[in-house]
Amino acid sequence: MAVTYDKKYRSDRYKLPKTDLSRWYLKIDPLGVQNWIYDSLEGEFDLKGSASRWSDDFDDQLTTKGQPCSTADQSLEKTIHTAYQLDLPEYHEFSVKKNNEYYNGNNTVDAKLASAALQSAINGYEFFASIQDPAGTWPCQYGGPMFMLIGYVAARYFTKVPIAEEVRIEIIRYLVNTAHEVDGGWGLHTEDKSTCFGTAINYVILRLLGMDSQHPVMVKARQTLHALGGAIGVPHWGKSWLAVLNLYEWSGVNPCPPELWMLPYWLPIHPGRWWVHTRAIYLPLGYLSCAKAKCPLDSTLESLRNEIYVKKYDTINFKNHRNTVCGIDLYYPHTRILNMANEVLGLYEQYRPTWVKRRSLKYSYELIKKEINNTDSLCIAPVNMALNAIVVYLEEGGQSAAFQRFLYRWPDFLYMSPKGMMLIGTNGVQVWDVAFSLQYACVAGITHQSQFQDPIRKGFHFLVRSQFTEDTVPGSYRDHRIGGWPFSTKTQGYSVSDCTAEALKAIIMIQNSPGYEDLKGTISEANLNKAIDVLLMLQNKGSYHYGSFSSYEAARAPPFLEKLNPAEVFGNIMVEYPYVECTDSTVLGLAYFRKHYEYRGAEIDEAIRLANAYIVSSQDVDGGWFGSWGVCYTYATMFAIEALSTQGNDYSNNEHVRRGCDFLVVRQEADGGWTESFRSCEIQSYVRGSKSEVVQTAWALISLLLSNFPDRTKVDKAARFLIERQRADGGWNQDEIEGVFNHSCAIEYPNYRYYFPVKALGMYAKLYDSSATTSIG
Ligand code: LAN
């Protein structure tokens, strides 16, 4: 394989091997499944392990016949969206240079700014449309979390399935390029300081992938790991991964017995009532810890045992370290009740009869098969996928069809970037991004422009194809899903409240946009109604979060279960919580549907009324709303104001909208922009970032525009900031990280910086320049 070097990245300074980036191709299937393929010149290398990606099941995946997504589109021709992802010269050459001729750049408030804003929105959308893929989605490097790759590498190591050379090289490059310059360590996520967890697991990955322990990168990382006390202080999930790899003893891992699944469901503690992600992880983890699964020792593992601890492996009494967690890692310390439960369960595990062990392994394996079945082996996210793959390997062997399907699915999580190959937190952001992109073109009033017809139609058909049409298998502790939409792809199999609502809204909006009437009927009214059934089913009825919406399911257990959160590094993971953003989006979807259809009208009205009451009640005293999935108050305040504004509320007539706007405007920077730091999410109080950011400014501007905020100078300044920050090719540069989960982990939303400014600027133009109003909103 050709190996090239340049000097841009740390990996280049160390002259680490690099693949030829121009030979990577991104293939997207009609359902948005993203696969990077390397053309090694010795014959196309397909990470899926089959010659043709577009095989027989291609047609079956199209749920509605006759939707345009031709096979020809998936040729291996280098497309702009691929070149864009890897920052290749083809992309730079392509950039359409468009200067904003309308904007005179001076500071006077006049109609010219509105025309400039419209032109800027059009340029922005033109750029964005150019990086759309043929299936209608916007693939992106959904990076941030730094604890995902361990699953992939450990599971491949455990199951003895070699990693393709190009992938191995690029994962090494990614980790070397993301190590902190100062101390060579890694954190929980890319924005985090070096932690014991991040440093230990990523160190192990590099060693398993063949880096020499004496390489300067490894020496530096090891020093940091040792300075943090060594791998003995990794949190629960880290201990579990190390135990699976035989680099830690199961006796030192706090228990999570699979027997919990056999408890009666009416008990609030039943895992079937936990948050989907948490139960999906603890299911296979319970199996593996009960089976005490561990990789056979080999020379690399033997050596690693003596690299990652400050003491010799054989002298460590692991049992005494169940609760040893490095202080720097700790986000959610154990409660006393958790420690007590761990004690009791630990004793129980010692004396558990063999027949109980056998039965609980069998029972949890049945549940794992259901998860596999519901998601075509993708599983909810890469963490439980890797754990499930090991369980399936142990149960059925490496040659079994079930295990082979994991090998087929794994590449869906591997994502190339100029820095190397990462493993993304879900198999993409497809439905979420497409739903917003379509809606915001409508809101900006630019859908009628001929250059946007094709991208919008492609996106529309993608959304229609992505609605769930088959239900989950019985007994999998899952809700009914037909009619819902996922966050990423239909294959992933999990419907989400706000994703369903935003996709539904996008479809109805496009169908009702001038020039797109022919799309009416592409999706039947019955299918739209099914989305409403899903949304109404998801509304929380519990007393403490009445009327709100959570993420994947309605809350099934009370929040006090959080006291048993064993993960140490994340907050709010045990159960579903009410989320103001999910509630807002659902209100938006329901309200939009209501404008156009009669179905379950009275129930929708009541659901909106209750949801509004929740939104209002969750406003903080200072006027902002706390965001759980975006950074942070600026994000959630925008959603809340949008939901309230659909009910006819604005700055002049509603106290909550007024307080929300006031919260934002006092935080406007002198240059007209906004900047909120990721720290806000961690400490749950507004923290200012270092410099004004495009996405934050777009969110705040949208809030002010929706509220008819009276002080035009502030609004103009924000619009001007966005226009000035636009690149000549119509795009905007990446600023700070946009998203978050579980309070402590940052995650990127690389497309936010394109479609939110388009929405904000288009809205601005519509409000302030009568000649600019052209389409519906
Ligand atoms: C996501 C990404 C999208 C996000 C929104 C749709 C934005 C939100 O409004 C609802 C929740 C959801 C779907 C969400 C849930 C948690 C996810 C799946 C993630 C943040 C992406 C990765 C994360 C997942 C938990 C990662 C696995 C790690 C664990 C700690 C279990």
For residue 280, the CA-to-ligand 1 centroid distance in Å is: 13
For ligand 1, atom 29, name the residue with the nearest CA: 277
Task: Tell me which residue of 267, 266, 268, 243 sits closest to 255, measured CA to CA.
Answer: 243
Residue 570 CA: nearest ligand 1 atom is 30
Looking at the DSSP bridge assignments, the partners of residue 28 are: 34
Q: Please, is 267 exposed, middle or buried when counting C-beta atoms within 10 Å of its C-beta (0-12, 13-18, 19+)?
A: exposed
**Residues 472-485: pLDDT tens digits?**
999 999 999 999 99
For residue 337, the CA-to-ligand 1 centroid distance in Å is: 27
For residue 742, the CA-to-ligand 1 centroid distance in Å is: 8
Residue 280 CA: nearest ligand 1 atom is 31
CA atoms within 13 A on the CB side of 357: 12
For ligand 1, atom 16, name the residue with the nearest CA: 741
The stretches in the chain having pLDDT less than 70 are: 1-7, 41-78, 93-111, 770-777
Is 716 in the active site?
no
* Element holding 34 (H helix, E strand): strand 34-39
Would you state the structure tokens that stand for residue 100, as one six-digit string? 């904003």
- Reduced to 3 states, what is the DSSP secondary structure of residue 409? helix
Looking at the DSSP bridge assignments, the partners of residue 36 are: 26
Looking at the DSSP bridge assignments, the partners of residue 757 are: none
Question: 760 to each of 47, 443, 716, how far by Cα in Å?
Answer: 40, 9, 11
For residue 318, the CA-to-ligand 1 centroid distance in Å is: 33
* 457 neighbors 506 (Cβ within 8 angstroms): no
The length of the chain in residues reads 777
For ligand 1, atom 26, name the residue with the nearest CA: 425
Q: How far apart are CA 426 and CA 133, in angstroms?
A: 18
**Residues 485-500: pLDDT tens digits?**
999 999 999 999 999 9
CA 672 to chain CA centroid, Å, is 29
Residue 551 CA: nearest ligand 1 atom is 10
* 165 neighbors 155 (Cβ within 8 angstroms): no
Dmax (CA) for the chain in angstroms is 80
For ligand 1, atom 5, name the residue with the nearest CA: 629
Residue 380 CA: nearest ligand 1 atom is 18
Residue 277 CA: nearest ligand 1 atom is 31
Task: Tell me which residue of 523, 432, 521 sits closest to 483, measured CA to CA.
Answer: 523
Q: How far apart are CA 71 and CA 454, in angstroms?
A: 17
Judge if pTM exceeds 0.90: yes
358's CB contacts (< 8 A; 6+ apart) are none
**Phi–psi pair at 691, nearest 5 degrees:** -150, 155
For residue 519, the CA-to-ligand 1 centroid distance in Å is: 31
* 181 neighbors 220 (Cβ within 8 angstroms): no
For residue 331, the CA-to-ligand 1 centroid distance in Å is: 18
Cα(first)–Cα(last) distance of the chain, in Å?
A: 52
641-670 core/surface letters (b: 16 or more CB in 10 A; e: else): bbbbbbeebbbeebebbbbbbebbbebbbe
Active-site annotation holder among 192, 479, 498, 584: 498
The three-state (H, E, C) secondary structure of 576-608, written as one string: CCCCHHHHHHHHHHHHHHHHHCCCCHHHHHHHH
Residue 573 CA: nearest ligand 1 atom is 30
Angle (CA) 413 415 416, round 5°: 165
In the prediction, which pLDDT does 770 show?
54
Q: Please, is 564 exposed, middle or buried when counting C-beta atoms within 10 Å of its C-beta (0-12, 13-18, 19+)?
A: middle
Q: Which domains, from first to last, does the chain contain? A: 148-423 (1.50.10.20), 430-771 (1.50.10.20)
| ipTM reported for the complex, 2 dp | 0.94
Q: How far apart are CA 229 and CA 726, in angstroms?
A: 46
Q: Best mutation site among 329, 375, 551, 586 for ligand 1, i.e. most ligand atoms within 8 A of its Cβ?
A: 551
For ligand 1, atom 10, name the residue with the nearest CA: 551
Q: Best mutation site among 197, 487, 553 for ligand 1, i.e. most ligand atoms within 8 A of its Cβ?
A: 487
For residue 628, the CA-to-ligand 1 centroid distance in Å is: 10
- Reduced to 3 states, what is the DSSP secondary structure of residue 763? helix
For ligand 1, atom 22, name the residue with the nearest CA: 425
For residue 294, the CA-to-ligand 1 centroid distance in Å is: 29
Q: DSSP of 96-161, one letter per residue?
A: -----TT---SS--SHHHHHHHHHHHHHHHHHHHHT--TTS--------BSSSHHHHHHHHHHHT-
CA atoms within 13 A on the CB side of 400: 14
Question: 320 to each of 73, 232, 243, 253, 343, how far by Cα in Å?
Answer: 58, 10, 15, 10, 12
Angle (CA) 159 164 168, round 5°: 95
For ligand 1, atom 31, name the residue with the nearest CA: 277
Q: How far apart are CA 85 and CA 34, in angstroms?
A: 13
* Element holding 609 (H helix, E strand): helix 601-617
Residue 381 CA: nearest ligand 1 atom is 27
Task: Tell me which residue of 729, 730, 703 sits closest to 714, measured CA to CA.
Answer: 703
Q: Best mutation site among 277, 387, 433 for ligand 1, i.e. most ligand atoms within 8 A of its Cβ?
A: 277
Q: Best mutation site among 279, 502, 629, 738 for ligand 1, i.e. most ligand atoms within 8 A of its Cβ?
A: 629
For residue 715, the CA-to-ligand 1 centroid distance in Å is: 32
Would you state the structure tokens that stand for residue 326, as one six-digit string? 């490095």
Would you state the structure tokens that stand for residue 554, as one six-digit string? 């309605």
For ligand 1, atom 8, name the residue with the nearest CA: 629
92's CB contacts (< 8 A; 6+ apart) are none
Give the residues surrounding ligand 1 with Cβ less than 6 Å away.
277, 281, 381, 383, 425-426, 432, 487, 496, 498-499, 551, 570, 581-582, 629, 741-742, 747
For residue 551, the CA-to-ligand 1 centroid distance in Å is: 8
Task: Tell me which residue of 642, 671, 522 sits closest to 583, measured CA to CA.
Answer: 642
Q: Best mutation site among 426, 498, 638, 699 for ligand 1, i.e. most ligand atoms within 8 A of its Cβ?
A: 426
31's CB contacts (< 8 A; 6+ apart) are 61, 135, 465, 466, 489, 490, 491
Residue 567 CA: nearest ligand 1 atom is 30
| Amino acid identity for residue 758 in this structure | V
Q: How far apart are CA 303 and CA 300, in angstroms?
A: 5
For residue 741, the CA-to-ligand 1 centroid distance in Å is: 6
Would you state the structure tokens that stand for residue 216, as one six-digit string? 């300067």
| Amino acid identity for residue 558 in this structure | P
Task: Tell me which residue of 522, 393, 395 sits closest to 458, measured CA to CA.
Answer: 522
Task: Tell me which residue of 418, 416, 12 sits closest to 217, measured CA to CA.
Answer: 12
Question: 761 to each of 172, 443, 507, 701, how far by Cα in Å?
Answer: 41, 10, 22, 9
